[in-house]
Structure 1
Amino acid sequence: MQDNVQPENAGIQKVGISALIGSAIEWYDFYIYGTAAALVFGTQYFPSFSPVAGTLAAFATFAVGFIARPIGAIIFGHFGDRVGRKNTLVLTLLIMGCATVLIGAVPNYSTIGVWAPIALTAIRFIQGFAVGGEWGGATTMVVEHSPRKKRGFYGGLPQMGVPIGLVLSTAVFSAVSALPDDDFMSWGWRIPFFLSALLILVGLLIRVKIEETPTFAEMAKAGGKAKIPFKEALVHGWKEILLTAALYLGHGVLFYVITVFVLSYGTSELGLPESLLLTCVMIAAGLEILLVPAFGALSDKLGRRTVYIAGAVGAIVMAFPFFAVLETGSPILIGAITILVITLCHAAMYGPIAAWYAEMFGPSVRYTGTSIGYQIGGAISGFAPMIAGVLVGTTGGASWPLGLMWMIAVGIGIAAALIAKETRGVSLTAKSHPSDSSATEGVEVENVESL
């Protein structure tokens, strides 16, 4: 089996665009939920709670999606490593899109009572379940199609989906939030969820036209599929799974705190205008769109670890200053520090990890291993807004616990980066892949097409 035998222009652009669009839709769906949880769900679905308790309950439903993600990673990882990357990605996108549209249609508490929060939580779980198989498949697809020396750059394309999804969701919510308050709270907030249907249609039309990766096709032809990818990933790649989860914590906690929790904290605790916070996040995310693949490309030159740690150190330095600047209320300073943290610190950490994750695992468990590690980290990070809310509530609105939580999470990411192997340029094939023993020995495989 040869590694990346295809020429660079043989479909990689189409695959990259497909992964980018799918990822953008994924994160659009997730961020509109996060924004709605911060601004709407507390009063619409938990009206009998106090304002603080209602917001915490809304953030709890946000976290439910992250609990579902590792489950989705296991299930869809199995299909991705057994049936193929492409078909599994079509399925995850379809399920994710349907769930998002249904969230917009859930009646509020005043209409159906307790069934409203129950339905919201259940559909959120389904949405998270589908997302669990999306990122690992998209990045695996791109990296396995990429030339060896440009995996960081092309792996950064699906990573662009995060800021793109954030820009789209923030722009749409900014538009509907301009409605009169009564209209926004009764029906305006639902529009972003319904608009997801159009994005899903575009994504599906593009995704069904891409080809399966050469790595998977050759592995299947040679009889190298794992019988139970989840089992093999745990037995032979458990260390890599833990490291990928820890790497996620480094960037995930700070990002969810800024893009989800601060919307609630800034408006309720600091009295900042909602429009100011949404605008700052949208501008920062717009700039990050270009910087994520740039940092991915830089990791092709300097190494995944070097670029990640550089961004993480910057994030550590900015932890306490970020909240101190929020307390000043200055739009210019708030905008500047938000842009700085997202475009430099977060982008440097997030840009290289698609290639880094995929390079850690052998082809027989690559979809499963990357998905599980990423989604475990995501599940833990998903509780960050809720934990932050508890910290603020128990300390009388003090911001120092938020900075401390931020620093601890990034510190965990730095520790993982120091432990993890530098994988830039490694082979992606089963016979020579050095980072995952399941790729070279001890793997149960079979040369059949059945599940």
Structure 2
Amino acid sequence: MHGTRDLRRVASAAFVGTALEWYDYFLFGAAAALVFDRVFFPDLDPSTGLIASFLTFAVGFVVRPLGGILFGHIGDRFGRRRALTATLLIMGLSTGAIGLLPGYQQIGFAAPLLLAFLRCLQGMSAAGEWSGATLMAVEHAPAGRRGWYGAMPQYGAPAGTLLSSGAMALATLLPDEQFLSWGWRVPFLVSFALLVVAFQVRRRVEESPLFQRESREKVPVLAVLRGHWREVLVALSATIANTGGLYLLTTFLVGYGTSALGLSRQVMLAATLIPAALEFAVMAFSARLTDRFGPARICVSGSLLSAVTAFPVFLLVDTRSPALVVLGAVIGISMLTVTYAALGTLLASIFPPPLRYTGVAMGVNLAGVVGGLLPYFATQLLVVSGNASWPAAALLLAISVWSLLGSLAAQRRTRAETEARQPEPAA
């Protein structure tokens, strides 16, 4: 890539593909909080059904380390472009298939089993998508602009949230009987159309120039485990607040607001939509700060802000005032976004290029296992504490501090000098 037009093409492909991935992924989370317990676990009481629904949601995270190894191998051995094509197709097709899946009343226990299987495919796909899209953007970017271009895939997260929450919010306007029978399926079926658009955009992107220059390991995962396992742990730690915190403030919060606080589905979906819309501005600001001050400093600052606001966020939600509930979600998600914009650039800097896809994917997806289980644990603690929100706030505080320490460790391990010595693609 040598021109501004080509860089824009890379940025567009990174954004569009990641937006589809997160649309699909977040859509499952919203459905898990609102409808899956009644469609796929109707014989359970409401609290147990919600827990079972979140367990199905968490299954997608359990398989993510395997997906990270698989697509990391493809990305480091055969190219970032091939890996990203595969992740896009698997995610779009599996999500669309959920919209066609019969419920428990039609096929019995096979329904939740098939739902869990499709969720596993989603998890495998997501394991390779974010890492690859971020590396494509960073490795095409000119010096001094890696923070800006490295944030492009991250814009896909709020875009996916807006699309999925908006689609589900429209579906909830239907009468309850129609929503449960067919309305919730429509947003999943839309994934087929979005897949066609995203595939056409992504197929025009050329391979990463850095990948084409570097030598390649035969088995990248073994090389990472032998020589860079510490960096994997650092990547896990730096990422944990974003993966876990985001699902606490979206998936768990929607379920908590509707089941424990008695708020309407529309209010809780608004608490997802409005923060997602504001994420674009926060992310753009954070990306510019990343190029100015470095990704490590921005990640440290964002993790600290998330820790400080953890309890105030849930105190605002507990007021049951729609405006304050939305304000709490805005504050919490905005603090996570400060870190998220800089995270891809930071993680890319701590692994050597021939092992970068595998190393980043392993660290991020191990963090995803922990983060994906947090809505389940928070819901369990909700039952034990008598619907009190302080355990969820304590979880958010703990993972924010964990990410703070991980970002500090990444700052010490950055390979900025090595990157500076490598030839840069011209802007």
TM-score, with structure 2 as normaliser = 0.96
Q: Which runs of 4+ in 1 moved over 2 A?
A: 421-429
Paired position in structure 1 for 2:106: 111
The answer (yes or no) to whether the contact 2:350–2:415 under 8 Å persists in 1 is no
Q: Cα gap change, 1:217/1:10 in structure 2, threshold over 3 Å: closer, same or farther?
A: farther
Q: Which residue of 2 aligns with 1:212?
A: 207
Structure 2: gaps (5+ residues): none
Distance 2:90 2:272 in 1: 28
Matching residue within 208, 225, 243 for 2:216: 225
- Indicate the structure with greater helix content: 2
The Cα offsets for residues 82-102 of structure 1, whole Å up to 9 and x where unpaired, read as 111111111110011111011
SS state of the match for residue 256, structure 1? helix
Give the Cα separation in 2 of the matches to 1:148 and 1:284. Answer: 31
Structure 2 counterpart of 1:132, one-letter code: A
* Distance in structure 1 (CA, Å) of the matches to 2:285 and 2:13: 19
What are the equivalent positions in structure 2 for 1:72-83 lying under 5 Å apart?
Answer: 72-83=67-78
User: Which residue identity does 2:407 align to in structure 1?
Assistant: A
Report if aligned partners of 2:251, 2:375 keep a CA contact under 8 Å in 1: yes
Alpha-carbon shift at residue 21 of structure 1 (Å): 0.5
Q: Confirm whether residue 266 of structure 1 aligns to residue 261 of structure 2.
A: no
Contact 2:81 2:206 in 1 (8 A): yes
Question: How far apart, CA to CA, are the structure 2 residues paired with 1:99 and 1:77?
Answer: 20
1:11-36 Cα distance to aligned partner (Å, 9 max, x none)? 11100110100110000000110000
Question: Does structure 1 residue 50 correspond to structure 2 residue 45?
Answer: yes
Contact 1:8–1:147 at 8 Å: present in 2 too? no
> Match of 1:127, SS?
helix
AA in 1 matched with 2:169: S
The structure 1 residue matched to 2:346, chosen from 348, 356, 379, is 356
Residue identity opposite 2:97 in structure 1: L
Partner Cα distance (2:241, 2:123) in 1: 21
- 1:7-63 deviation line (CA, Å, top 9, x unaligned): 462611100110100110000000110000001111111111111111000000100
Structure 2 counterpart of 1:371: 361
Report the more deviating stretch, 303-312 or 417-426: 417-426
Cα deviation for residue 425 of structure 1 reads: 4.7
1:124 aligns with 2:119: yes
CA distance in 2, matches of 1:296, 1:36: 31
**Distance in 2 between the 1:65 and 1:314 partners?**
28
Letter in 1 for 2:183: G
Instruction: Pick closer, same or farther for the CA change 1:296–1:426 going to 2, 3 Å.
Output: farther
For residues 239 and 294 of structure 1, the distance between their equivalents in structure 2, rounded to whole angstroms, comes to 31
Corresponding position of 2:327: 336
Aligned to 2:380: 390
Contact 2:155-2:283 within 8 A present in 1 as well: yes
The answer as to whether partners of 1:300 and 1:424 remain within 8 angstroms in 2 is no
Equivalent residue for 2:189, pick from 173, 191, 194:
194
- Structure 1: tracts of 5 or more residues without a match: 1-5, 434-451
1:297 positional shift: 2.1
Aligned residues: 422
The question of whether the paired residues in 1 share the 8 Å contact of 2:298 and 2:339 is answered with yes
Q: Distance in 1 between matches of 2:3 and 2:331?
A: 33
* Residue in 1 that maps onto 2:232: 241
Give the CA deviation at 1:247. Answer: 1.3
Once the 2 structures are TM-superposed, how far is the Cα of residue 296 of structure 1 from its aligned partner?
2.0
Q: CA RMSD in A?
A: 1.5
1:407 and 2:397 matched: yes
1:320 maps to a residue whose letter is F
Equivalent in the alignment of 1:12: 7
Shift of 1:252: 2.0
Letter in 2 for 1:394: V
In structure 1, C-alpha distance between the alignment counterparts of 2:272 and 2:195, rounded to whole Å: 24
TM-score scaled by length of structure 1: 0.91
